[in-house]
Amino acid sequence: MRFSAGGAAIVCLCCRNDTFDKDYRQLNSRGATFFGLDWANRNATILVCQRCTHISWFMSEPDRMKD
């Protein structure tokens, strides 16, 4: 899939590929983990390059571009 952020197409910083797999990761903080509140941590969207597997992190979800 192809994505954009802020109106610009996203390309891999390593290989210049423009197709990615999207997933989500939890951003853990020591305080929340210490108190057993991992569920309260924020999530980030990650895009994994389909060519070289470089991972790009986004705090706001990128927009999917139409092919």
A 10 A CB-CB count for 20 gives 23
CATH code 1.10.20 for 3-62: no
Cα 10 to Cα 1, 17, 21, 23, 38, distances in angstroms: 11, 9, 12, 15, 30
Residue 46's nearest CA partner among 16, 19, 25 is 25
Both tokens assigned to 10: 């996203």
Sorted by where each begins, the domain ranges of the chain are: 3-62
| pLDDT tens for each residue of 5-44 | 999 999 999 999 999 999 999 776 666 566 666 655 578 9
Q: 12 and 56 in contact (C-beta within 8 Å)? A: yes
Write down the pTM of the prediction.
Answer: 0.81
